[in-house]
Chain A
């Protein structure tokens, strides 16, 4: 072995030691906790629970804010840890925050469809909150798939929503960058529905397959070779915990979501019918703030930014954030910008 060969051997050993040490520390960080702000359940419907967050400061007196998260992931990513919590920033600003947790559907829920989710679960949550606040309309924040549900609800119940905020929400499912859409467009949704609920791990696999090397290899190698401090390690483990902690998906609701939105692109084609009734984005008249991520590999920016063209509201604000899908909820940069935008936008309209 020559000199450069010896140097290569040394570098190899150095990397091996470094990675080994980080792996050991990662194992020790495995038991991190997630979710940091106090909340209490205030209403239930099936497996769905509506939570109200305990205020952190004096109320601003504005309408309550209901957060409607996606069915495919857990909402605690919005409140992962004190310094990475969108909800905490909103609470600190004096907002009265409610959150829908869809829970863990089981086989008894396999027929729960999108109409039930939108009308009974989301709608029931809205009505509960309004009944507590004199019937006034509330502010609705829909996240990702929850944004689609929120758009459908707002289109059907204009009087119930004062302001609508959508975060990383797909509207046009057929833009060229949307790989997920390309893959599921040929699925036989009736057949899939017959197969029953879909485990969360399957959807995770699908999301990871969008960029497999980056998402299942590179990010770990980067962490293992970066000599992270304990806090960075724990942050990382918390995120991993969330990413792989996905609830099962109801067969009926998932099949409808794939068919109506990914395959038929009903929102932008204005052909959506839920429970026999037409649902049109044109019927949304409330002010809308649409926040989307420029580097989003799950919901490409092009899929979100179309919203402004399709809603009936004249008060529309689109806002691009230079981060990825998950970065919208937890990255340090977005962690400052996203809540600040929401708070100032709501303040201008309250």
Chain B
């Protein structure tokens, strides 16, 4: 099953090589590989589309969405292929109709939001290219030394990051980002719901049941800890009474009601009833 963060694990060699590849792609756009000089204004279009492609490809600003690229596992947009024989109504075949309409609704919403995100990428890329062209006016178009190439590259990164920051700090972008994540999460929850139905049909424990067990376990642990705490308090009180000189014993006695109030009533009652229940059969 997918989860919202099942993005591809980092592979350093690939990341280094990919960065180098994009660097050379940019240098070629500057005419470095061919040696053909162009004028800066003509580069705005190619630069913008290159950057926009990269943003879309990396989904850089929306890592939460990696799971939602395309339809989730187990989903298909077309009708199911007709089967010559239907399976017997046992196990998964006994699962009643799934909530596909809602899933499709979510997928539709996701596609719409991704369309909105694409507009932001487009805006960022165009702004970055314009900024770069405006600043690069004095620099020769084709870098003739590695130093010139790197200077241009640094300039490009600064312009691109500035354009990116200007957009991604805006409230509408932040809202879109959250909406995309929430929709992806809702889609995942929907998938899980369907899987749970399937799991139940096999008589296997569902996530909801496991969670309920966990809550019970947590509660029991808490009760145990509370009981341990009150037992320690009682023992300390008894030791204090045994070893204290008369005036300290008097103080201890005076303090007892306060200590008693600290003992959690809810922790004691279950122990008493549980102990009684437990002793019965043994006797």
Q: Which residues of A contact B (CB under 8 A)?
A: 1-2, 4-9, 11-12, 14-16, 18-19, 23, 26-27, 30, 111, 179, 182-188, 191-192, 194-206, 208-209, 211-214, 216-218, 220-221, 223-225, 237, 240-241, 244
Contact = CB atoms under 8 A, between A and B. Distances in A.
Contacts of B35: 1-2, 4-9
A59 to B, nearest CB: 32
A201 B189 CA distance: 20
B66 interface: yes
Nearest to A224: B20
Contact of A8 (B142, B161, B165): B142
A123 B15 CA distance: 40
B4 A202 contact: yes
Nearest to A245: B10
A313 B24 CA distance: 55
B99 interface: no
B5 A198 contact: yes
Nearest to A207: B63
A185 B174 contact: yes
Q: In which size bucket is the chain B interface? A: 35 or more
B182 A9 contact: no
A11 B63 contact: no
14 contacts: A5-B37, A7-B35, A26-B13, A27-B13, A186-B182, A191-B182, A194-B192, A199-B6, A203-B5, A208-B60, A213-B164, A216-B15, A217-B157, A218-B19
Given A205-B63, A217-B157, 14 more contacts: A7-B35, A8-B31, A11-B149, A26-B12, A191-B186, A204-B10, A204-B63, A205-B64, A209-B62, A212-B55, A213-B161, A224-B23, A225-B146, A244-B9
A206 B63 contact: yes
B150 A188 contact: no
B17 interface: yes
Nearest to B147: A11
Nearest to B6: A199
A188 B182 contact: yes
Contacts of B165: 179, 211
B7 interface: yes
Contacts of A18: 146
A11 B7 contact: no
B93 interface: no
A214 B153 CA distance: 11
Contact of B10 (A23, A185, A197, A201): A201
B244 interface: no
B24 A16 contact: yes
Contacts of B157: 213-214, 217-218
Contacts of A15: 24, 27, 146, 149
